[in-house]
Amino acid sequence: MGEPDTAEPDEARRIATEARDRVRFEEEALALADQVYRVARRFVSSREEAEDLVQDTYARAFRSWQSYTPGTNLRAWLLRILTNLNVDRGRRIQRRPDELPLEEHDYYLANRVAETGGEQVLDQDRVVERLSQDSIVTALSSLPDDFRDVVVLVDIGDFSYADAAQILDIPIGTVMSRLHRGRRLLKATLAEEAIT
């Protein structure tokens, strides 16, 4: 008797809080768009595909925003959606083991550069710029998908091994071995294509 009816104000407050959280989520996600695009662009072969992939990612993210835990890594959460969508698109190429590019040792590219200009050439500050930027983009896109995904996430997206493992849903040991092999494959490809 005489109890104030608190149900309605509580409900109104809950709705207002949720709306505010949702707006904040959308704004934080949009602030990461450039970084998300940067990774997406290297997952696919054209700018148009990357734009589509990012738009599909954000459409899904905005719909399922409540499954994001505030305070966790939002960029990794978005990339998880993006990599799943990319796999679903089914454009990834399955390669037979004999189609893998040849993997060389870690010093291979530096050795090849040194062969053309002498050992001292490696002391020059900008020696890596002998490789054209286009050749780097081409070499990256020629990596087998599983290797490229890890190299792109860690070396271009700046994700930790742990984040990359979570995004790709693979064990951290697999991230490390694919990353190390992927980088060696990348250098071997650059050595073949970029040094004339």
Partner 1 sequence: MSMDDCGKCEQLLQGYLDRELSDDEVAQAERHLDGCDYCRRRYRFEESLRTYVRTSAAERMPPGLLEKLAQLRTTGPGTSPI
Q: How many helices (H) and strands (E) does the chain have?
A: 9, 0
What are the residues whose beta carbons fall under 8 Å from the beta carbon of 100, sequence distance 6 or more? 144, 185
Nearest distance from C-beta of residue 66 to partner 1, angstroms: 11
User: Taking CB under 8 A as the rule, does residue 28 contact partner 1?
Assistant: no
- Near partner 1 by CB under 8 A: residue from 10, 62, 66, 171: 62
Neighbouring CB atoms inside 10 A of 80's CB total 18
Rounded-to-integer distance, Cα 193 and Cα 179, Å:
21
Residue ranges in 129-168 that form contacts with partner 1 under rule CB under 8 A: 129, 131, 133, 136-137, 140, 152, 155-156, 161
Tokens of 106: 């870690």
Q: Are 141 and 180 in contact (CB under 8 A)?
A: no
User: Taking CB under 8 A as the rule, does residue 102 contact partner 1?
Assistant: no
| Contacting residues toward partner 1, per CB under 8 A | 16, 19-20, 22-23, 26, 30, 33-34, 37-38, 41-42, 47, 51, 54-55, 58-59, 62-63, 105-107, 109-111, 113-114, 119, 122-123, 125-129, 131, 133, 136-137, 140, 152, 155-156, 161, 176, 179-180, 183, 186-187
